[in-house]
Amino acid sequence: MKKSIQRIVRTVIAATLSLAIMGAGSSAFAAESAFSQWKTDDWTEATENGTPILKSQPGKSINVLYLKGKATGNKLSFDIRVDNSFGTVDGNVGSAFKLSDGTQYFFEYNTVGELVRIRRLGNDGSDSHVCPGKSYKLTAEQWHTVSLEFAENHLLWQIDGETVHELSETGNDKFEGGTLYIQSYNTDVSLRNISVESVYIPIVEKREYDFEFTSEKSVVDFSARNGGVAWKNGRLIYTLTGNDSTLTSPPISVKQGTAYSALLPLRNTVLIRMSNGTDASRIRLSYTTTDDPAYTADKSFVLDVQPRSGDTTYYFNLSACRNLSGYLYGFRLEPIGAASGSIEIEAVTFEREAALTGNVGKLTSCTTDGKTVTVCGTLDSAYAGREVTLYETKPENYRLDLREQDKLTSCVADGTAFTLTVPYENAGMTRLSSLFLLGVAGEDGKPVRIGERFWIRNGDSYDGGNPYAFTLPDYTVSVLDFGARGDGFTNDTPSIQQAIDHVSAKGGGVVVVPGDDSFYGKRYVATNIRLKDNVELRIETGAVIWQSPRPADYAYDVVYGHDVSIPGVNWTHAASCHNMPLIHGDQVSNVRVTGGGVIRMQDAGGENLDSVSAGSLWTGCPYKIHLIPLGFFRCENVEISDVHLRRTNNYHINLRTCRNIYVSGVSMWEVTCASGDGISATVGTKNITINRCFFYSNDDAVTICSTYNDPRGIAWWHANPDGDNCVDNLVVRHSYLVGGHGITFIPWGTDNPRLDMQEIRNVEVYDSCLGGGSSAVGAWPDNPYFGKQPFDNTETDDFSPVKGVRIHNNRYFGACTLECIQGTDIITDCGIRSASQFRYGDFERNVRRHKNFTSGLSNWSFQPVEGKSGGADVKTDGNNHFGVVYGDGTLCQGLWMSKGEHTFTADVRLLAGSGALTVRDAVSGEILAEKALETGDSFAKVSLTFTLTSGRMAYLGVTHTGSAEQAVYIDNASVTNPEFVRMKYFTEAFDDAESLQLINKGFSVTDEAGNSGNQIAEVGGGRTGIMMLTTEKEYQEFDLHYRMRFDCASAEIDANIGVSLRRTDSGNQYDIHYNPLCHFLMIREYKGGAESILQRVDNFDLEPGKWVDVAIRVQDNTCILYMDGKPVTEFSVAGLRTGVISLRAYNVNCAYDDVVVTPVGTTYVTGKEELSTETDTESVQPDTETGTGDATGASAETTSAPVTATAPASDADTTAVASASGKGCNSALGGAGLLAVAATAATAVGCARGKKKNGEHA
């Protein structure tokens, strides 16, 4: 028996051959420079404490230090110091060994995601994470020693003596004759002590694992007791020669994440494809683990099998076994009661399957009559007469836990039958977006779950149905009639494709993929199924379309790993840029994918359970074939309904340049890799309805993306630069969507010369639950393919138009923002508003270097008169563009108008008919102001002044009445708004939501419950994510006072409430926060992205629902914190000079009120005692921005300063960026300097709704 892979013993056999690079005679650099063998043209040489160092160019995006010539050593060492990290989307420092064939191994420390990984950049453009990213943090402004070893089947990366990655499999890559470089990207670094040396790396015997048995050597490490092992025609032949015969596998020692790596208890099933030529009707599978490598009687599972039977797929599900920990290390088969015959094994895989649990009951129906939701089911006889409870749950409850779910109603079963009812509506919403669970009282009184999550099944009768419904001929075939087996192993793609082709050729109909009622379902292995016109692919309940893990099954050369390499292009996912969708539509119409079945993607070697945790999300990524489950390009009339997407390793449903799409009753969870976007509508897709869909993933749930010449469209889809790329008429209703963003707007069309061909318009979202690790509604505004290059996501004006958005009657579990996007005609109840000034009011683009760029009617809307003819267009006189209205109608923009006086001004020319400048309430339709126009031969400037007593969204524009030949022109439209002044020193009591002195991101300004008339800033309803109230001005010294009420945590992993001081961004601030889950008060300094914990006090609690007076004084670089008039702590803030003040909430429900900011030393009452005023009172100096020194704020319009979105770091390697401690509650750091604080009542950890499993990126 060969030994498993040994741990490599490294012995240095030569005295340090420092920098033996240019040949055997070059053992050191020339005396004139410590870096003479490196190309230092773009680096600055300096000396620090007598040691030569190299410094990168400050602020430069990419700095590369290349080796001169080839590397003859196999170990690179150097010291590195991160001086500044300024990337927001991506940034890294690292080193690469570049092979002679162009392949590179890049050892990357990602400064944004704070992780380390090794990437193989193939010469074919592939980008594989051969060592997936794992969390790691280099301390900024501190030297770290890095060493890298690189040789065939040996990569070793150490930082400060600690091994961060090790790889013993490099395939056929040859490491002779390569070269080296060190790189920084969006990061300023210093380097010193660079050396290259040769170390001895012994050749290690490596076992090849091939449980597909493709060659004779694949069976040599298997052994048999009372039997023999042979190989024939791609099978392991196990022959029994006596009683008590067993077949034992070799020890399984493989790299984490590879196909035969099975983390227990997650990957709990040994799948064996075999024929049984013995009399055994049962087979015992015993197993060993890396935690317990001996075969023992308690580590086994017995499965019924068919004696004397042909090829069958058997699932040895070990979930009911004990001692399932570590990794699967080996398995043994024992045919019980058989002494002769043979078993032929075609393949062995290790799968993640549902746990075997007792059947305590069954759901039979969940229906509604529009007034009541009725749930019916039956219990196992052992549970007859017991109490049954109906719970409301959420997509992120991946464990299907009944604890802390919302109990809706209960009943005592009538024997084994039960019926439960709840109202159809709840808090102004229907329950069409509700997910339910059932539980029955167990022996110990604790509830036992009945089945899976479910939802209302007859919702089509009440949700409006498919607005793009079509009919198909009455013709049906089964894929079984075309040779499909559904055996979980055979590639059924040809058979399914043949059935589809046949039905389409017959004029259309239904192709049935039959299911069964077995525990695992009838599984059809497939690779790329191409839909054809007029065909419904009906995947029945109990059927599974299962992506093949075998490259030989594919009709094209697949790419492994998450990404391919396209130089200069971001987010080049293999599923989008190379590999074909599993179910694929290209230029087809009238197609459906439906039936109640499952589409399951490949997840071999995967270790992620919750769909979001960055620590495990990338595991196995380099060894997977990433496909999009459902991809459609240039299709019309598409219905995707009642199918369930599982284990997706990239985007779920991709819609590009399509029309008339209906997606309904689709659930999407158990995501196994990053970039798990849900439903994407892009490249000019129009008329989309998303209805009763349920989604949980690590990336955005619904993406609305307007792109122009997207360079990633090189495989199954292509950009459409000459077409209409507007995403138009998208409706989301009755859905529960949780991702990075619940809904996200991605207006990336600014590189189109015709901007009006790139609008996102006419979007409505209602009666849905929206949540996200970052926000419930969010945006990625900066176009990566235009403007500043290389892209760094910092431009705040590089977005294409967004207009006609309605978001209302939803539950929002997170903040809602469009970031810097200035959209028009936007009405929401979540705080998102239209712009307050015209967009392209002069109908010009004014883009430097692009004089031919035009705006067209971007952000303008034409409103016709019912029953009349009319329209709008843009004309030019050769020098200028202007808008035209002909016939009957109004050309306008929907803008947010704050209370106060406004003046609407435009250049107009009435040619004929009648016309007027008009201001109309967007909700009621009331005319707020208008001014009639006179006909003229030239443009005339016309102004219309109006006053509003409250803020509202209004349509401002020009109205025309007349024949189609008559028209009015408009140009240079603008509106003046009441001057908005946010003061440096102010009192904010939240009495007027429209004139807040604080920039509000995510809080609701509302009446305090039980105290009508008192307005507060509140987060409620179980909302999760980051909410902030931030000053516009920056401060060095100040007094701050506010009232704060903590209600409950809305997440189970991390939550906090507090204040950030001297904040300039998420990487520079002082953070004071209370964590209700871990029960501590913590003070942290963030400087250059590096976190330092200054103080911590454990066993600290705030009483839920109780207002606390908080006061903070910052003076002489010292901060003093008071709570309820008592001093709590003081600490130094000398590390950061100045910044804004931000009151925060992260995954908590809470409220703020009575926020006061004054010059330091000003006397005011904290609630119990006065702050000391012994120091000199700081004089109130005129604010340089506002020209005033008033200590109180003026009533003014609330206009949030532009906020730059932070994109995921390089392929969504992200962690929460909430200034929130996501690292657990086990810190042993003390609270130096903290005064004793008496703990109050125990903290309530959960809210009524929204207890969210955090971990998705923010």
**pLDDT score for 1164:** 52
Q: CA nearest 903: which of 824, 979, 977, 955?
A: 977
**Complete DSSP assignment for 724-742:** ---EEEEEEES-EEEEEEE
Distance of CA 212 to the CA centre of its chain: 35
- 3-state DSSP assignment of residue 7: coil
Query: Is 907:939 a contact under the CB 8 Å cutoff?
Result: yes
- 3-state DSSP assignment of residue 721: coil
pLDDT exceeds 70 at position 1170: no
Strand partners, 1118: 1115, 1132
Rounded-to-integer distance, Cα 379 and Cα 698, Å: 36
Contacts (Cβ under 8 Å, ≥6 apart) of 997? 982, 983, 986, 987, 988, 1031, 1032, 1155, 1193
Which of 398-407, 593-602, 1155-1164 bottoms out in mean pLDDT, i.e. has the lowest? 1155-1164
**pLDDT score for 438:** 97
**pLDDT score for 1011:** 84
- 3-state DSSP assignment of residue 503: helix
Rounded-to-integer distance, Cα 950 and Cα 63, Å: 54
Rounded-to-integer distance, Cα 597 and Cα 592, Å: 13
For the record, the structure tokens of 51 come out as 């040691």
For the record, the structure tokens of 1121 come out as 């914190």
- pTM of the prediction? 0.81
Cβ–Cβ contacts within 10 Å for residue 467, how many?
12
pLDDT exceeds 70 at position 946: yes
pLDDT band at 587 (very low <50, low <70, confident <90, very high): very high
Find the farthest-apart pair of alpha carbons in the chain and give their distance in angstroms, rounded: 108
Query: Is 834:814 a contact under the CB 8 Å cutoff?
Result: no
Q: Can you tell me the mean pLDDT for 7-13? A: 33
- 36, 633, 644, 731, 962 from 665: Cα distances, Å: 65, 22, 8, 15, 47
pLDDT exceeds 50 at position 331: yes
Handedness of CA 2, 5, 10, 14 (dihedral sign): positive
Cα dihedral: 667, 673, 674, 680 (round 10): -30
- 3-state DSSP assignment of residue 808: strand
pLDDT band at 61 (very low <50, low <70, confident <90, very high): confident
- 154, 307, 879 from 317: Cα distances, Å: 35, 20, 74
For the record, the structure tokens of 360 come out as 């305590």
Give the strand pairing for 589-594 and 636-641: parallel
Rounded-to-integer distance, Cα 459 and Cα 733, Å: 12
Which of 2-11, 101-110, 311-320, 855-864 bottoms out in mean pLDDT, i.e. has the lowest? 2-11
- 3-state DSSP assignment of residue 599: strand
For the record, the structure tokens of 609 come out as 């359970």
Q: Among all chains, which residue has been given the structure tokens 């409103």?
A: 863
**pLDDT score for 169:** 81
Q: Identity (one letter) of the amino acid at 471? A: T
**pLDDT score for 294:** 92
Which of 515-524, 940-949, 1193-1202 bottoms out in mean pLDDT, i.e. has the lowest? 1193-1202
Q: Among all chains, which residue has been given the structure tokens 């024992």?
A: 334
Rounded-to-integer distance, Cα 1150 and Cα 1017, Å: 8
**pLDDT score for 32:** 56
pLDDT tens-digit readout, 610-623: 998 887 898 999 99
pLDDT exceeds 70 at position 586: yes
- 3-state DSSP assignment of residue 9: coil
pLDDT exceeds 80 at position 1216: no
Which of 135-139, 661-665, 933-937 bottoms out in mean pLDDT, i.e. has the lowest? 135-139
> In the chain, how many H helices and how many E strands?
3, 87
Query: Is 1130:1233 a contact under the CB 8 Å cutoff?
Result: yes
Distance of CA 999 to the CA centre of its chain: 26
Three-class SS of 814-875: CCECCCCCCCEEEEECCCCCCCCCCCCCCCECCCCCCCCCECCCCCCEEEECCCCCEEEEEE
- 18, 45, 48, 141, 194 from 51: Cα distances, Å: 16, 11, 5, 16, 12
pLDDT tens-digit readout, 401-441: 998 899 999 999 999 999 999 999 998 999 999 999 999 99
CATH numbers and ranges of domains, the chain: 38-197 (2.60.120.560), 216-351 (2.60.120.430), 361-461 (2.60.40.10), 476-828 (2.160.20.10), 861-976 (2.60.120.260), 980-1222+1229-1258 (2.60.120.560)
Mean pLDDT of the chain: 87
Rounded-to-integer distance, Cα 305 and Cα 1100, Å: 59
Q: CA nearest 1157: which of 1019, 996, 1014?
A: 996
Residue 783 vs residue 1206, higher pLDDT? 783
pLDDT exceeds 70 at position 1212: no
pLDDT band at 206 (very low <50, low <70, confident <90, very high): low
pLDDT exceeds 50 at position 1168: no
What is the phi-psi region of residue 211: left when phi exceeds 0, alpha when psi lies from -120 to 50, beta otherwise?
alpha
Q: CA nearest 491: which of 544, 426, 547, 453?
A: 547
Which letter does DSSP use for residue 1234 in this model? B
Query: Is 209:5 a contact under the CB 8 Å cutoff?
Result: no
Rounded-to-integer distance, Cα 9 and Cα 201, Å: 7
Q: Can you tell me the mean pLDDT for 59-77? A: 91
Rounded-to-integer distance, Cα 814 and Cα 826, Å: 19
- 36, 47, 192, 693 from 50: Cα distances, Å: 18, 6, 11, 64
Q: Can you tell me the mean pLDDT for 300-304? A: 96
pLDDT exceeds 60 at position 246: yes
pLDDT exceeds 70 at position 691: yes
Q: CA nearest 90: which of 819, 795, 792?
A: 792
pLDDT tens-digit readout, 85-100: 888 778 899 999 999 9
For the record, the structure tokens of 1003 come out as 């809080």
Which letter does DSSP use for residue 218 in this model? G
Q: Among all chains, which residue has been given the structure tokens 């067993």?
A: 246
pLDDT exceeds 50 at position 268: yes
Per-residue exposure over 1138-1169, b if at least 16 CB sit within 10 Å of its own CB, e if not:
ebbbbbbbbbbbbbbbbbbbbbbbbeeebbee
- 3-state DSSP assignment of residue 1133: coil
Q: Identity (one letter) of the amino acid at 1051? A: A
Rounded-to-integer distance, Cα 1094 and Cα 1132, Å: 9
pLDDT exceeds 70 at position 13: no
Q: Can you tell me the mean pLDDT for 51-69? A: 92
Handedness of CA 100, 105, 107, 112 (dihedral sign): positive
Q: CA nearest 702: which of 755, 661, 672?
A: 661
User: Of 50-64, 750-764, 1222-1236, where does the model show the most confidence?
Assistant: 750-764
Rounded-to-integer distance, Cα 990 and Cα 1000, Å: 11
For the record, the structure tokens of 1197 come out as 């319009």
H or E element at residue 500: helix 493-505
Handedness of CA 227, 231, 232, 233 (dihedral sign): positive
Q: Can you tell me the mean pLDDT for 744-754? A: 96
- 3-state DSSP assignment of residue 501: helix
Share of the chain above pLDDT 90, in %: 72
Rounded-to-integer distance, Cα 545 and Cα 261, Å: 23
Residue 339 vs residue 614, higher pLDDT? 339
**Complete DSSP assignment for 371-433:** SEEEEEEEE-GGGTT-EEEEEEE-TT-TT---TTPEEEEEEE-BTTEEEEEEESEETTEEGGG
Query: Is 1041:1164 a contact under the CB 8 Å cutoff?
Result: yes
Q: Among all chains, which residue has been given the structure tokens 């409006």?
A: 464
Q: CA nearest 1158: which of 993, 1042, 1029?
A: 1042
Which of 200-204, 875-879, 889-893, 1173-1177 bottoms out in mean pLDDT, i.e. has the lowest? 1173-1177
